[in-house]
Structures are given as C-alpha cells and as structure tokens.
C-alpha cells in the first residue's frame, strides 16, 4: 500500500481540471482535493468524482476543515452544521477522509479535554457516514501545534473514526523529534503529507505557505522522517502537499513530473521501491558548446578529431575535451558528457526517474541541457582523429561546469542532479551580482562537479545578458603559469580591476599577490584550502571559460569572487559594443 502516491491539488497551477490532468499524466494514484480548488470549479462534486475516476485518480483526502475544536457550545453547533454539509459534499465526491487542522480561531480555548470531546463528537457524525477524520497540528496552531499534542488529543478522544494526519513540514519546521512517531499505532495515522523546505529563519506560517519544496529539493531529512512513519505501520499513500510560489505559477504538467520524481527517489531511499542504482561517475567526458575554434586554440587546445557524421569538432588538452557543435545556435553549453561505470544503467535510472530521453544513453536535464552517459572511451569511436600532436599549456581536465538555471527550474534541477546522477547538493549560497542577487548551489561528487546558478529575480530591460552566461572551468596545477602562457598566446582573458587586489592585500598577506594582480588571477581561501582562478572574456553571448587551481583539497568555487568577474564581463561587453 505504501507504494501509493498522491498529490494535493494545491501543489499545482491552473484550474482543477488542469491540476487533475497533470497529476494523472505524471502517474499519481490519488489526489488531495483542496477545498478552494473545488469551490472555484464549475463542476459539481459528483462530476469531479467522475472526472477523477476517468483519469484513474483516487480522491484520498478532502481538505482542509478549519477551526473546529475547543470552542463554546454555540460555535460548536455551527461547526457541526458546517461539518455535516462538508460530509454531504464528500459523499458526492466519493472521498472518505477529511483533514481537520488544529484551530487558529480566537474562539478556541486552551483545553485538551474539550478539544478531545468535541473531536469525538465530530468523529461520531463522520463515522456514521463512513468518513474518517484526520487531525493535523498546524505548526502555527493556536494551542495545538505539535504532532505529539495532536496525538494526545486524538488518543484522549478515543474514536475509531478519528486519527492523526502527519505533515512533515509542520513537524520538521518546528524541529520536533520525529522518532516518537514510531509510538503512534500505524492504524491511527490516517494520512501522511510530505513536503521539504529550505532552512529559513522566518515565521513558520509564511515559510509554509510560500517556500515548501518537493522531497529532496530542500534541507529536511524526508527519508528518515518517512522511515519513522512506515515503521509505525502507516500503509496509506505518500502524498505531497507543497505550497510554493514558483510551482503555483509553473506549467502543471512538468511540475507534476518533478513532484513524481521526488516520490520515486524518496521511495527508493526508504526501501519501498527498487530502481536501478546510480552507477559511479568517473568524471567529465566532455562539454559541448559552440565557440570559434580560434578561441580554443588560443587556450592551448588542439583539434584532435572530427565526428564521423555530425558537424562536431573535438578539441582536447590533457583530459579536457570540448566538443564544438556548429549547429547549436545560442552558444550555451548544449550537452555534458559524463563518464559512467555503466552508461546503460545510468540511462535506465534516469528513465525511471522520468528524465526525458534524448538518445540511447542520453537524457535532458530540466533546463534542456543534454546529459550523455559515456563509457570510458568508446564514445570516441564516433570521431576520426586529426593526427594533430597533443600539446598544451597546463590545462589538465574539466574541473566543473556552471549551468545557469532559469529561476523557475532551480529547485527542480537540484533534485534532478541529486536523484538521477546521485550527486550531492552542497549548501545554497547567495551573492549580490551587479544585476541582482544570484543563488548558487553546487552538486557534485569526487569526480563530477556542477554548479547551478540562478538570478533570484530577473525583470525589466535594464538587466542585460538574459539568460546569464554559463561556463566551463578547466583544472590546472599552476594557475599563474597557465595565465602567463595564455596571455602570451593572445587568449582573450578577462581583466580584473586593481581595487580587487587592494582588497585582497588588505585581507591576506600573500607572497604571490603581485603575480595575481599582474595576471588578473582571482584568489580564495577557506578551511578546506586555497583556490586560484581566472576567466576568459565572454565568448559570444552565453559562455566563457575559467581555469582553476585547487590547493590542499579546496572544495568551493570561489563564489566570493563571482560578482567581481561578472562586473568585469559587463564592462568588457559594453566597451566592445562602443
């Protein structure tokens, strides 16, 4: 039974019909009908019931029923009248479970005995009609705001038609210990709602109504949480209830697929679904984009091979391989090749996780970038070697690839790379770039690193370069030497202003400070090590290259320096346009 999946209509955008169609198309077994969606619909409850049946969707929950318990007698009478009407509606709808959330009403009093006896009365009315009442503690409930408290009241009420609804957001946002869930008898857990969220230091109501995420996109440990609920004996559906400003505006069809991906990954991690495991990734095989060959030449690459059937050139230096594809128009990174211990296995996993297929072992990431799973070197058989002698100036491989994400795909991208490729998301960082705040999150493992960057708000005519540029970062062992060599070859390296180096001198006393300044090489240091890096100018509108040197196991990406080079890119673009 815990293989059943459901989604609350409130997660998705559009009319009730749009939401139901999207949920069904993504493969959900059931839905929670959110009351507002029903009220705004022109269809009668029985028509909605038929529509759901036609789409193959169960109606697992009707919600929410608010502000019921612990009230004076006259309010109770009105609340019971309201409940009877809703139970009539549920009978028409064919829904047998209603969510009652803990009261926020000024009419309510702090009296557990009263709450329990009134919920008992409600359960009596519900039970006679074959309806179950699932009582949920809202994190901001006036008197009841923890699941332990809701369970104490449900236990005291002691009615077969009354149980609890557990919602991971309310429980984890308040940092309640979820282990005690195991002490609730499984049959008294009437419903389970799942939502992740980023850790934000803000009022819980606002956090809940705007920033919930699908499992795996935020910072909560949903696998452990769900493990406790299943260990308690819960056998109902895993249902997503995510209030999120972005998803509420997004096309509901891909949003529902993203939602389903989160549940497939969650079920894998709690052991209720077996899917092909993520094969080990052995590094970046290539990055495919469209830049003039002369730029790569100036960076010390040689044209090593030509594709047998496509207008694609393979440029190489060390183990850094760049595919120049003349047919990709906007010049952005169009494909990434990743070395997989089992390319077919990687592709099977991606397919199970609902990634659109692009080729026999390639899939599309949420932003459309193609991810190609490569065996060690056999993909090279599609290329005819040019015979050019390998040379180079010290670039050894690809260190990471920075993929700028459309803001609306940022959270989806995190989940995609985490679940499909098995990469580990790092902390989210934010920095003030010249044209607004940028959110950045790296996903990676030992050998594959990607950074996902996104402008938080992108509006108006003033902000240039939409969408923002991406970049491919090459690794080297001596950034200063490589920078000098590349300048000598006339590579289009980006000039960094003197103020940056004055600040660096103030913060650090570096023996090589003058060389950094002279070569426009940037510097960062943290507890993990040191980092030297420099960039080329923008090549076309959408890409540039970076060369990086990691010292002593530095794990970051020099994010502190990003605003500096972003500004330099902007100035350079303006000066070229003049």
Ligand X SMILES: O=C(O)c1ccc(O)c(O)c1
Task: Detail the residues annotated as belonging to a binding site.
Answer: 136, 167, 193, 241, 400, 471, 546
The listed partner (Mg ion, ligand X, none) that binds 288, CB under 5 to 8 Å by sort, is: none
CA distance 417 to 1: 28
Size of the site for Mg ion (CB under 5 A): 3
Q: Whole-number minimum distance, CB 145 to ligand X, in Å?
A: 12
Please identify, using beta-carbon distances, which residue of 241 and 268 lies nearer to Mg ion. 241
Separation between Cα atoms, residue 425 and residue 82, nearest integer Å: 46
Question: How far apart (Å, rounded) are the C-alpha atoms in residues 63 and 57?
Answer: 16
- Site for Mg ion contains 167 (CB under 5 A): yes
- Per CB under 5 A, which region of 120-128, 159-167, 434-442, 546-554 contacts Mg ion? 159-167
Q: Minimum Å distance from CB 454 to Mg ion?
A: 28
Comparing CB distances to Mg ion, the nearer of 118 and 193 is 193
Report the 10 Å Cβ neighbour count for 201.
Answer: 5
Strand-pairing partners, residue 33, are: 62
Cβ of residue 476: shortest distance to ligand X, in angstroms? 51
Interaction partner, residue 412 (ligand X, Mg ion, none; CB < 5-8 Å by kind): none
Where do we find the tokens 């009105």? 78
Written as six digits, the tokens of 467 are 């969408």
Whole-number minimum distance, CB 32 to ligand X, in Å?
8
Q: Which does 64 bind (CB under 5 to 8 A by kind): ligand X, Mg ion, none?
A: ligand X
Is residue 535 a contact partner of residue 546, using CB atoms and an 8 Å limit? Answer: yes
Q: Choose among Mg ion, ligand X, none what residue 63 binds, the Cβ cut-off being 5 to 8 Å by kind.
A: ligand X
User: Residue 132 in contact with residue 98, Cβ under 8 Å?
Assistant: yes
* DSSP structure string for 304-369: EEEESSSSEEEEEETTEEEEEETT-SS-S--EEEEEES-HHHHHHHHHHTTPPEEETTEEE-TTS-
**Alpha carbons 197 and 184: distance in angstroms, whole number:** 25
Establish how many alpha carbons lie within 13 A of residue 368's alpha carbon, considering only the half-sphere containing its beta carbon.
Answer: 8
Among 199, 234, 205, which Cα is nearest to 145's?
205
Return the number of the residue (9 or 468) whose C-beta is nearest ligand X. Answer: 9
In whole angstroms, the minimum distance from the beta carbon of 473 to ligand X comes to: 42
Its sign, for the CA torsion 361, 365, 369, 371, is negative
Instruction: Report the nearest approach of Mg ion to the CB of residue 357 (Å).
Output: 35
432: left (phi over 0), alpha (psi -120 to 50) or beta: beta
Q: Which is nearer to Mg ion, 193 or 334 (CB)?
A: 193
C-beta of residue 30 within 8 angstroms of C-beta of residue 62? no
Task: Give the residue with the Cβ less far from ligand X, 138 or 476.
Answer: 138
Using the minimum distance from each CB to ligand X, give the nearer residue, 145 or 352: 145
Kindly tell me which of 196 and 241 has the beta carbon lying closer to ligand X: 241
Q: CB within 8 A of 311, min separation 6: which ones? A: 325, 326, 327
Closest-CB residue for ligand X?
A: 64
Q: Hey, what are 393's tokens?
A: 């100036």
CB crowding 91-116: b at 16 or more within 10 Å, else e: bebbbbbbbbbbbbbeebeeebebbb
Q: In the bound complex, what is the minimum distance in angstroms from residue 8's beta carbon to ligand X?
A: 8
Nearest one of 330, 348, 290 to 472, comparing CA atoms: 290
Of residues 241 and 546, the one with the C-beta less far from Mg ion? 241
Least distance from ligand X to the Cβ atom of residue 71, Å: 18
**Binding site for Mg(2+): residue ranges?**
400, 471, 546
244 binds Mg ion (CB under 5 A): no
Residues near ligand X (CB under 6 A) are: 63-64, 99, 101, 136, 138, 167, 193, 208-209, 241
By beta-carbon proximity to ligand X, the closer residue of 213 and 455 is 213
**CA–CA separation, 113 and 135 (whole Å):** 15
Using the rule CB under 5 A, is 193 a contact of Mg ion? yes
CB of 33 to ligand X, least distance (A): 12
Residue list for the binding site for a divalent metal cation: 136, 167, 193, 241
Q: Which residues bind Mg ion (CB under 5 A)?
A: 167, 193, 241
């Amino acid at each position: 039974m815990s293989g059943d999946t459901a989604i609350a209509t409130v997660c998705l955008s559009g009319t009730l019909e749009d939401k139901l169609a999207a949920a069904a198309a993504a493969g959900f077994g059931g839905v929670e009908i959110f009351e507002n969606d029903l009220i705004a619909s022109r269809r009668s409850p029985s028509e909605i019931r038929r529509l759901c049946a036609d789409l193959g969707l169960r109606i697992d929950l009707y919600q929410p029923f608010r502000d019921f318990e612990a009230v004076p007698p006259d309010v109770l009478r009105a609340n019971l009248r309201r409940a009877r009407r809703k139970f009539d509606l549920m009978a028409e709808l064919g829904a047998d479970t209603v969510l009652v959330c803990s009261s926020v009403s000024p009419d309510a009093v702090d009296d557990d005995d009263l709450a329990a006896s009134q919920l008992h009365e409600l359960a009596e009315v519900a039970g006679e009609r074959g309806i179950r009442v699932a009582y949920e503690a809202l994190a901001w409930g006036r008197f009841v705001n923890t699941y332990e408290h809701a369970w104490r009241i449900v236990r005291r009420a002691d009615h077969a038609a009354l149980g609890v609804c557990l919602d991971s957001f309310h429980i984890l946002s308040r940092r309640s210990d979820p282990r005690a869930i195991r002490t609730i008898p499984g049959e008294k857990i009437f419903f389970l709602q799942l939502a992740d969220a980023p850790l934000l230091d803000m009022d819980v109501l606002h956090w809940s109504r705007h920033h919930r995420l699908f499992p795996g996109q935020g910072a909560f440990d949903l696998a452990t949480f769900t493990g406790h609920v299943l260990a308690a004996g819960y056998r109902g559906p895993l249902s997503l209830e995510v209030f999120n400003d972005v998803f509420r505006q997004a096309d509901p069809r891909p949003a529902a697929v993203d939602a389903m991906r989160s549940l497939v990954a969650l079920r894998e991690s709690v052991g209720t679904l077996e899917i092909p495991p993520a094969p080990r990734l052995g590094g970046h095989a290539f990055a495919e984009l469209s830049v003039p060959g002369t730029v790569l030449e100036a960076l010390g690459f040689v044209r090593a091979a030509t594709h047998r059937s496509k207008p694609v050139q393979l440029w190489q230096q060390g183990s850094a391989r760049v595919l120049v594809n003349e047919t990709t128009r906007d010049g952005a990174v169009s494909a990434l090749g990743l070395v997989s211990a089992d390319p077919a296995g990687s592709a099977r996993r991606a397919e199970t996780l609902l990634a659109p297929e692009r080729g026999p072992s390639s899939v599309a990431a949420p932003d459309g970038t193609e991810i190609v799973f490569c065996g060690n070197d056999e993909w090279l058989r599609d290329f005819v070697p040019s015979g050019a002698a390998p040379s180079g100036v010290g670039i050894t491989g690809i260190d990471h690839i920075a993929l700028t994400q459309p803001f609306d795909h940022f959270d989806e991208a995190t989940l995609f790379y985490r679940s499909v490729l098995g990469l580990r998301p790092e902390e989210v960082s934010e920095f003030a770039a010249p044209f607004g705040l940028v959110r950045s999150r790296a996903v990676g493992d030992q050998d594959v690193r990607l950074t996902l960057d996104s402008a938080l708000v992108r509006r108006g005519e003033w902000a240039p370069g939409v969408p923002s540029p991406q970049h491919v970062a090459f690794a080297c062992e001596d950034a200063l030497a490589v920078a000098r060599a590349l300048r000598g070859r006339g590579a289009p390296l980006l000039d960094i202003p003197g103020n940056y180096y004055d600040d660096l001198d103030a913060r650090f006393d570096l023996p090589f400070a003058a060389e950094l300044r002279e070569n426009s090489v940037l510097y960062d240091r943290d507890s993990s090590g040191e980092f030297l890096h420099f960039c080329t100018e923008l090549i076309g509108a959408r890409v540039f290259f970076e060369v990086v040197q990691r010292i002593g196991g530095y794990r970051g990406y020099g994010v502190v320096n990003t605003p500096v080079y972003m500004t330099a890119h902007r100035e350079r673009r303006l000066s070229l346009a003049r």
